[in-house]
Amino acid sequence: MRLALLFLCATPALAKGPIAEVICVPRPELERKLSGATVSAAGLRDSETVLEIWTRPSGDRTLVQSYADGIACILAMGEAWEAMVPPPA
Annotated domain spans of the chain: 17-78
Predicted pLDDT of residue 19: 54
- Which amino acid, one-letter code, is at 4? A
Q: Which stretches of the chain score pLDDT less than 50?
A: 1-16
Check if the beta carbon of residue 42 is closer than 8 Å to that of residue 63: no
Predicted pLDDT of residue 89: 79
Q: How many CA atoms lie within 13 Å of 70's alpha carbon, on the beta-carbon side?
A: 3
Predicted pLDDT of residue 15: 45
